[in-house]
């Protein structure tokens, strides 16, 4: 059973009805195609029996919903909720305190790493869901009956999932593991707000010289502020590849801005003076951290040995290998070891990974002739 909520009165009544409910399943539908920030369109709630579909576009006063979802005594059940938390925070200033993410729990209990909602439902309950409305226009009104059914299904199985996964966490004595990963999730969501050092993500930036890298950093910060102010995707302002080429050339006049792939005369006319100003001001900026070169091919065999060691740890600990250590972390470990002092990612030196991951990788490094 699902109920459509499209007035402040109806929202207030719903929140009053749910005030004493201990666990609520939550999902959101939003669009993020031609904007920087996601545009929230719908919020789905379920108490395990009934589903409420909240038409965000029709509501004016979200205070009752904010109080409901921020109640620390109430557990909110999500699946893969990083984007849900982001959109709730940005659009409605709603910041849940207590959550249960079924995707994290499925990984911790070795059901599968980063499993989508439909796949997890099929794995746990042998039910195949129709996901054809995944990319439909959620900002359209009225929504079709098929869209409404799809939205309701996204919270229909979350209570059953939470019950089953909580039981498995307890049986495997991994509740503390789960808490640790949930804390890391909140940190990840908060970290996405920080756009400092975006230049380090630009493909090929490691090839730039010192001044070009400083200029790239300033150009990235300028674009970020403009994208957020105008609520446009970064690439709609200027693509990464264009910023990289500008940083290489360090142009000082308008005529030097032409001939860059994917940067068209109309954009140059509009943004050229601002870009030149940023490049000029970059000469007064302080030095920034260099971007390390890609690892040499000579360490490929060592990387394979490290992955093999991780596979053994994953088998012994009965968790997905991907949950233990990611590619970037392995590369950072190798790079720092080659520089003479191994720097370990913090999450490998504490918590549930500490006893298995770090010793296994350290053994590989100690036995290597390349270091």
Strands 75-78 and 23-31: parallel
The pairing of beta strand 51-55 with beta strand 2-5: parallel
**Looking at the domain assignment, is residue 350 inside a domain?**
yes
Answer whether residue 65 is part of any domain. Answer: yes
Rounded to whole angstroms, the Cα distance separating 29 from 323 reads: 27
Q: Is 344 within a domain? A: yes
Beta strands 39-46 and 23-31 are: antiparallel
- The pLDDT of residue 31 is 94
* CA–CA distance, 215 with 248 (Å, rounded to integer): 9
Instruction: Residue 224: give its domain's CATH number.
Output: 1.10.150.80
**How far is Cα 7 from Cα 9, in angstroms, rounded to an integer?**
5
Structure tokens, 50: 């009934």
Residues 130 and 181 in one domain: yes
Domain that holds residue 131: 2-191
Distance CA 124, CA 105 (A): 13
- Please state the domain count of the chain: 3
Residue 291 lies in a domain: no
pLDDT of residue 133: 66
Cis peptide before 143 (omega within 30 of 0): no
CB proximity list for 178: less than 8 A, separation 6 or greater: 104, 105, 108, 169
Final residue belonging to a domain, choices 284, 314, 334 = 284
- Helices 210-230 and 265-281 pack at an angle, to 10 degrees, of 120
Question: Same domain for 347 and 312?
Answer: yes
110 and 223 co-located in one domain = no
Q: Report pLDDT for 370.
A: 75
In a domain, 292, yes or no: no
- One DSSP character per residue, 1-35 reads -EEEE-SHHHHHHHHHHHTT-SEEEEEEEEE-SSS
Q: Verify that 90 and 75 share a domain, yes or no.
A: yes
Residue 316 lies in a domain: yes
Is residue 83 located within the same domain as residue 220?
Answer: no
Q: What is the pLDDT along the chain (371 residues), one digit of tens a residue?
A: 899 999 999 999 999 999 999 999 999 999 998 999 999 999 999 999 999 999 999 999 999 999 999 999 999 999 999 999 999 999 999 999 999 999 999 999 999 999 999 999 999 999 999 877 677 899 999 999 999 999 999 999 999 999 999 999 999 999 999 999 999 999 999 988 888 899 999 999 999 999 999 999 999 999 999 999 999 999 999 999 999 999 999 999 999 999 999 999 999 999 999 999 999 999 999 999 999 999 999 899 999 999 999 999 999 999 999 999 999 999 999 999 998 899 999 999 999 999 999 999 999 999 988 77
**End position of a domain, from candidates 223, 256, 284:** 284
Residue 289: inside a domain, yes or no? no
Q: Same structural domain for residues 97 and 13? A: yes
Could you tell me if residue 290 is inside a domain?
Answer: no
119 and 148 together in one domain: yes
pLDDT of 136: 85
pLDDT at 267: 96
**What pLDDT does 196 receive?**
86
Residues 171 and 257 in one domain: no
In whole angstroms, give the CA distance from residue 149 to residue 40: 18
Residue-by-residue DSSP string for 141-203? SSPPHHHHHHHHHHHHTHHHHHHHHHHHHHHTT-HHHHHHHHHHHHHHHHHTT--TTGGGGST
> Is there a single domain that holds both residue 224 and residue 302?
no
pLDDT of residue 130: 81
Same domain, 137 and 155: yes
CA distance 354 to 361: 11
**d(Cα 267, Cα 247) in Å, to the nearest integer?**
17
pLDDT at 337: 93
Same domain as 308, residue 211: no
| Backbone dihedral angles phi then psi of residue 77, each to the nearest 5 degrees | -100, 120
Q: Which residues contact 25 (CB under 8 A, 6 or more apart)?
A: 44, 45, 46, 47, 48, 76, 77, 78, 155, 156, 158, 159, 162
Angle, vertex CA 66, rays to CA 65 and CA 67, nearest 5: 90
- Spatial separation of the C-alpha atoms in residues 218 and 229, rounded to whole Å: 17
User: Of 191, 208, 225, which one is at a domain's C-terminal end?
Assistant: 191
What pLDDT score was predicted for residue 251?
Answer: 97
- Does one domain contain both 157 and 19? yes
User: Which CATH number belongs to the domain containing residue 175 in this structure?
Assistant: 3.30.420.10
């Amino acid at each position: 059973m699902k109920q459509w909520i499209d007035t402040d009165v109806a929202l207030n009544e719903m929140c009053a009805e749910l005030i004493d409910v201990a666990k609520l399943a939550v999902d959101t539908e939003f669009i993020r195609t031609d904007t920087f920030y996601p545009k929230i369109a719908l919020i789905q709630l379920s108490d395990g029996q009934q589903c409420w579909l909240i038409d965000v576009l029709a509501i004016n006063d979200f205070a009752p919903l904010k109080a409901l979802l921020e109640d620390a005594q109430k557990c909110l059940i999500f699946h893969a909720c990083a984007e849900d938390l982001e959109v709730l925070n940005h659009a409605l200033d709603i910041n849940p305190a207590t959550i249960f993410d079924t995707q994290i729990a499925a990984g911790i209990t070795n059901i599968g790493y980063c499993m989508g909602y439909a796949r997890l439902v099929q794995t746990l309950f042998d039910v195949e869901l129709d996901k054809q409305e995944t990319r439909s226009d959620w900002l359209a009104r009225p929504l079709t009956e098929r869209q409404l059914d799809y939205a309701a299904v996204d919270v229909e199985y979350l209570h059953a999932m939470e019950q089953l996964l909580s039981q498995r966490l307890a049986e495997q004595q991994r509740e503390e593991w789960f808490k640790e990963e949930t804390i890391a999730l909140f940190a990840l969501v908060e970290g996405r707000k920080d756009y400092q050092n975006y230049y380090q993500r630009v493909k090929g930036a490691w090839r730039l010289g010192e001044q070009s890298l400083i200029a790239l950093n300033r150009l990235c910060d300028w674009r970020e502020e403009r994208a957020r102010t105008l609520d446009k995707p970064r690439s709609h302002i200027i693509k990464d590849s264009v910023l990289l080429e500008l940083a290489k050339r360090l142009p000082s006049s308008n005529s030097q801005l032409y001939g860059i792939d994917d940067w068209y005369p109309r954009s140059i006319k509009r943004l050229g003076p601002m870009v030149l100003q940023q490049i000029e001001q970059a000469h007064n900026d302080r030095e920034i951290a260099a971007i390390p070169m890609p690892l040499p091919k000579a360490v490929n065999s060592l990387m394979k040995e490290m992955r093999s060691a991780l596979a053994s740890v994953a088998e012994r600990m009965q968790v997905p290998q991907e949950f233990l250590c990611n590619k970037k972390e392995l590369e950072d470990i190798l790079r720092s070891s080659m520089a003479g002092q191994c720097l370990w990612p913090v999450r490998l030196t504490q918590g549930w990974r500490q006893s298995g991951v770090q010793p296994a990788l350290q053994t590989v490094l100690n036995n290597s002739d390349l270091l």
